[in-house]
A and B are shown apart, each in its own frame.
Chain A
Amino acid sequence: MPVWLDNFLWTYQNLVHALGINGLLALSMYVVLAVGQLSLGQAAFMGLGAYSSALLTLKLDLPFALVLPVSCVAPVLFALAIGTPTLRLSGVYLAIATIGLGEVLRAVYLNVDWLGGALGLSGIPLRAEFWMIYGLLGAAILVLWLVGRSGIGRAMEAVREDATAAQVMGINLARTRLGALLASAVLAGLAGALGAHSSSFIGPNEYGFEPAVTILSFALLGGIATPLAPVLGAFILTLLPELLRGFSDLRLVFNGVIIVLAVLFLPEGLFPLRMRRRAA
């Protein structure tokens, strides 16, 4: 690694890590939006990944290479428990159940002693490296791009645009949607584990309502035309508050307003370039 890059990464380490992690979270939102569903559990899944990975590291002192994949287990189990019944119904049920999940987990983290209570978990060793975060982000973009171009990607788009027509064409709606939700839980769980191991402290309020909505604003600003679009949205919304210091109170107001404006006036997002696919 050249010296200037090393210096740069050292100085801006927190920001560089946050950019990559938010990129992963934006992708986890993208996967669900790509099948026309709305999950507001991304922050909750991230919290499950963060808490389980932190406990594995702190209590059992497992190596990070093992902690990282295992931290996806809890988010996937919760996604199965909530997604299986709701994805057969109209989209509002998944949205309601996943917002509820975030609120409940916050209350559980606050009230259960061995999860640290209001103080959270601290002293987590800094084991998330730059190359892990960006390697995973790059791999996730690549996989989602390839999937998007494949038959599965076509099926996902069909389910999003017209569920009834997709079903008539023989696409299994529930399985396509559940697959997307599970992939999204895995991405969010990874992001949570990486986040926990790059900040040394996690607390119950970091995975509640506000981050859940913020993650949605990443994907809505960028749009969901390609996997790169939501990641760019996340980069913009993570860098903007750094550039506009002094307005930190209004950062969340801004994120909320972005969602309103994006839905009302910019339904395709900022980057509506579509993926190229070979003709069928």
Chain B
Amino acid sequence: MLAQQLVNGVLLGAGYALFALGFTLMFGVLRVINLTYGFYFSAGAFVALFLTRDFGFSIWTALPLAAMAAGAMAVVLDWLLLARLRRRGAPELASLMVTLGGVLALYAASTAILGPDIRRLPPGLIAGAPFELFGLRVTMAQLLILLASLVLVGALVWLLHGTRLGLAIRAMAEKPDAAGLMGIDTGRIAALVSFVSGCLAGAGGVLIGLNFNAIHPYMGETMMLRGFVVVIVGGLGDIRGALIAGLALGVVEVLTAGYVDSGLKEAVAFAILVAVLWTRPSGLFGRPEMRRA
């Protein structure tokens, strides 16, 4: 029983980690809490829904296409909302407020267009019945989450640490001005980081939507709470921390739902966030060199 719950928690947590990764990457490189991030999660899920239901795509092609569509939206919105503030060197709260207004407009507009009801992916998209693996029951959706998370995290680590582009991204995270002076096209790097982050959010939306089989416009907003917990516990901008914290959050949620009350899983997650802010504000794995206000 416990082993089964731990497995469920880790598989759910892989999805959370994937989602939070893009959020923390955006903050790490662009120094922005981008609240439109949750919208890319919803957008990815909806694109996958339309592709599979109305155009008969399989999940294997719909997943990457939906992720890239969400990435493209992230690039456009970053250019519309944030590029100007970045050039002006505006304070970080100004960019936070712009994305907040933007995301409310986006959610409200998509609810007005698509309607607020919960949609389901077409049946038979992926084998629904769970099967036994080493005495544990897992579903295809869970395995897909694990597989996609491993592939995408691997690709991200390779991009950041194995390519010259990654070197440029890390340079920009370190010192944007100096990176610009070294001949790095910071506008292009900002677009690239937005695209990659949007893809991660979109993929997360498809996978979590598949896991719970419930897709609605505001699903990204409820997901953002998990994103906040993961990036604060893991440390803002810390990719390794986000991975560990994401997996841990999945386990904590499943155990809370299993042994305490499923209605309290958000409250427990938030209590952890507040506890970390009190004790280790730079994250559980962070070095204590905080940028003090």
A107 touches B267 (CB 8 A): yes
A107 contacts B92, C-beta separation under 8 Å: no
Number of cross-chain contacts by CB at 8 Å? 151
B residues 264-293 near A (Cβ < 8 Å) are 264, 266-267, 269-270, 273-274, 277-278, 281, 290-293
A239 at the binding interface (Cβ < 8 Å): no
* Given known A103-B222, A257-B101, A263-B101, contact A108–B108 (CB-CB < 8 A): no
Closest-by-CB residue of B relative to A252 is B108
Q: What chain B residues lie within 8 Å of A252 (beta carbons)?
A: 104-105, 107-108
Contact among A85, A104, A213, A263 for B278, CB-based, below 8 A: A85
Given A100-B229, A107-B267, A264-B98: A81 touches B108 (CB 8 Å cut-off): no
A196 to chain B, nearest CB (A): 22
Chain B residues bordering chain A, tally (CB within 8 A) = 49
Interface of A is mostly: helix
Question: Are the CB atoms of A100 and B228 closer together than 8 Å?
Answer: yes
Chain A window 95-113, contacts with chain B (Cβ cutoff 8 Å), 1 for yes, 0 for no = 1110111011001101110
Can you name the residue of chain B whose Cβ is closest to the Cβ of A260? B101
Does chain B have a CB within 8 A of A250? yes
Q: What chain B residues lie within 8 Å of A107 (beta carbons)?
A: 263, 266-267
CB pair A97 B277 closer than 8 Å: yes
Instruction: Assess whether A89 is in contact with B263, with CB atoms less than 8 Å apart.
Output: no
Asked if B105 contacts A93 (CB within 8 A), the reply is no
Show the binding face of A for B, using Cβ within 8 Å. 36-38, 40, 81-82, 84-86, 88-93, 95-97, 99-101, 103-104, 107-108, 110-112, 163, 173, 209-210, 213, 216-217, 220, 249-260, 262-264, 267
24 A-B contacts, Cβ less than 8 Å apart?
A82-B274, A82-B277, A85-B277, A85-B281, A92-B92, A92-B96, A95-B93, A95-B96, A99-B228, A100-B229, A173-B293, A210-B104, A216-B100, A249-B112, A250-B109, A250-B112, A253-B108, A255-B105, A256-B105, A259-B98, A259-B102, A260-B98, A264-B85, A264-B98
List residues of B whose CB falls within 8 A of some A CB.
33, 35, 81, 84-85, 91-94, 96-98, 100-109, 112, 218, 221-222, 224-225, 228-229, 232, 236, 261-264, 266-267, 269-270, 273-274, 277-278, 281, 290-293
